[in-house]
Amino acid sequence: MTEPELSGIKATVITVDSRVVSGQKPPKGAETAISLLNEAGVEVVRDVVIDDLAAPLRGEFDRSRKLGARLIVTVGSTGVSARNIVPETTQAVCDVELPGVAEQIRQEGLKNTRLAVLSRAVVGVTSRTSRGAVIVNCPSSSGGVKDALNVLLPLLRYIYEQLDQTEA
């Protein structure tokens, strides 16, 4: 049996949804993310649920990096309401965005629901060095999480190879 392609990669899953915090809604998107990450050989080192607020999310981004996460998956808070703060908060901590990946995720989602175009989710990298972590914003639905990770996971090794190149 061969080693999974992404073994050795650490990830965190951050659910950003006041309905999950209050117990009104189960964290199905996060459960799907953890399952897909484990299948790919990624070690999930933290799974947390927080309210739709920028300061706690920035804190979780920092905590994730301190835990050695090279992949940070957010679940929820990517729509158009005033409480949907994940895209802006993600942009604020990223050195570079990967708009082509985010667009491909929306295209994949359109195969399943016309609502995919309402997502403002972004994908970015926190640093253009070997310390860089990839952040992907996923919608709260299990299907949206599947669409996002099915697009992103096959690209991660290539992204990390570029980030890990030693500078001349």
Q: Is the pLDDT of residue 1 over 50?
A: no
- Contacting residues for 96 by C-beta, under 8 A, at least 6 apart: 124, 125, 128
Regarding beta strands 96-97 and 123-125, do their DSSP bridges make them parallel or antiparallel, or are they unpaired? antiparallel
Q: How far is CA 158 from CA 108, 136, 153, in A?
A: 20, 15, 10
Fold of 10-164: Molybdenum Cofactor Biosythetic Enzyme; Chain A (3.40.980)
Quote the CA–CA distance of 136 and 152 in Å, as a whole number: 8
* Phi/psi of residue 143, nearest 5 degrees: -65, -40
Residue-averaged pLDDT of the chain: 94
Q: Is the pLDDT of residue 166 over 90?
A: no
Q: Is the pLDDT of residue 44 over 60?
A: yes
- Contacting residues for 57 by C-beta, under 8 A, at least 6 apart: 14, 16, 50, 74, 85, 86, 89
Cβ–Cβ under 8 Å, residues 38 and 3? no
Quote the CA–CA distance of 82 and 103 in Å, as a whole number: 22
The percentage of residues in the chain with a pLDDT greater than 70, rounded to a whole number, is 96
Q: What is the pLDDT of residues 85-142, one digit of tens each?
A: 999 999 999 999 999 999 999 999 999 999 999 999 999 999 999 889 999 999 999 9
